[in-house]
Amino acid sequence: MAGVLVMYALLVQLEDSFHLSTKRTWLAHVLAQSPEIWDNIHEEGQKLGEGGVWGYDLRLKDKPSVRFLQTAPKYDRLADMSSSIGIVLSTLQELNPAADHFGSDISRVMVNQTKQRCKKCLVAQFDLGNFQRPAGEVVPYVFPGTFDYVLVEDVLYYIAWGGWPPFLLRICEPCRRMALTHQRRWMQRVKAITRRKVIFSDHQKNPIVVDMLMGLGATFQQGVYLINGTAGVGDGTAGVGDGQE
């Protein structure tokens, strides 16, 4: 912990003294994520332009997750649990306007941007990392009910699984193995509100995410990782939608 604090202090000093970066994304790798940290990051990112801290643009409309859902059977309800500035969610709403689309993000800044971009979507603040909380605790999603598809993109490598800071999980394989229990509990909660598939981006092949998804039985196809939902087990609809058993 002392080493983490020293690294944090040095990074702050470098940023304040030399203005090496206005993005501050390193905060999310060193510290456990929180709404306050992400609000700070995205408020700084807004100064860089409409695309924010990562320079997002309309190329997101052609993400593998969007292409996958274009070829999947029509759905009634979809939740994007890392909606960011809302390009993907608004694109999906345009492609399937009869369905209900829900979005959430840890940052109120991103929630507001998604609301502005997708007027017909329901969007609220939610910390996705809460789903790893201890067994026995009730951890409801911010929206009630179940969803045909749940979308999780480019966010899992920022979660402090089991309390391990992301930068340490990236370089420490034994730490990732110890974090798998927390990741499995997280996955069970997400699957429990998903009727067909949980869809994950490849997260730039980040080792934290690859080890997690492969360790929990995900399959990779059409550029995305897929895991069957369990919400529809009793009525035979769980995991349907792409020809997979």
Domain ranges of the chain: 2-49, 58-235
Phi, psi at residue 48, to the nearest 5°?
-90, -10
Those residues of the chain that have pLDDT short of 50 are 1, 4-22, 240-245
pLDDT of 167 reads 85
pLDDT of 170 reads 87
Q: Residue 71 carries which side chain, given as an amino acid letter? A: T
pLDDT of 6 reads 43
This prediction has a pTM of: 0.82
Strands 77-80 and 147-152: parallel
CATH tag, 58-235: 3.40.50.150
132-169 pLDDT, tens digit per residue, is 999 999 999 999 999 999 999 999 998 999 988 888 88
Q: Single out the residue of 62, 59, 106, 61 nearest to residue 84, CA to CA.
A: 106
**What are 95's two structure tokens?**
């492609």
Average pLDDT, the chain: 82
Measure the CA–CA gap between 150 and 200, rounded to whole angstroms: 9
Measure the CA–CA gap between 127 and 87, rounded to whole angstroms: 20
pLDDT of 52 reads 57
